[in-house]
Amino acid sequence: TPTRTCVVCGEKGNKRALTRLVRTESGVLVDPGGKIDGRGAYLCDKRSCWERAVNTNLLNKPLRTIITAEDRERLQQAMP
């Protein structure tokens, strides 16, 4: 099974155990199925990782974009 790495804490895990975030034309979205086209990054299910990703600019580099306030709100609603 493919492994992926959380962009915040660096924890490696099964692709299905981590949550994929994807940059699309309509903004940054949570991709639970892992099938949406676009630049992706993975987060583990630790709340601290999600909070750090949402409240800082940490996702800008791996997603090659600037995270907007709308993106932050959307990700905050998806937080575990």
Residue-wise pLDDT tens digits, 30-61? 999 889 999 999 999 999 999 999 999 999 99
Three-state DSSP class for 23?
Answer: strand
Give the per-residue pLDDT at 80: 87
What's this model's pTM, rounded to 2 decimal places? Answer: 0.91
Work out the angle at residue 11's Cα, subtended by the Cα atoms of residues 61 and 20, and round it to the nearest 5 degrees: 55
The proportion of the chain whose per-residue pLDDT surpasses 70, expressed as a percent, equals 100
User: pLDDT over 90 for what percent of the chain?
Assistant: 94
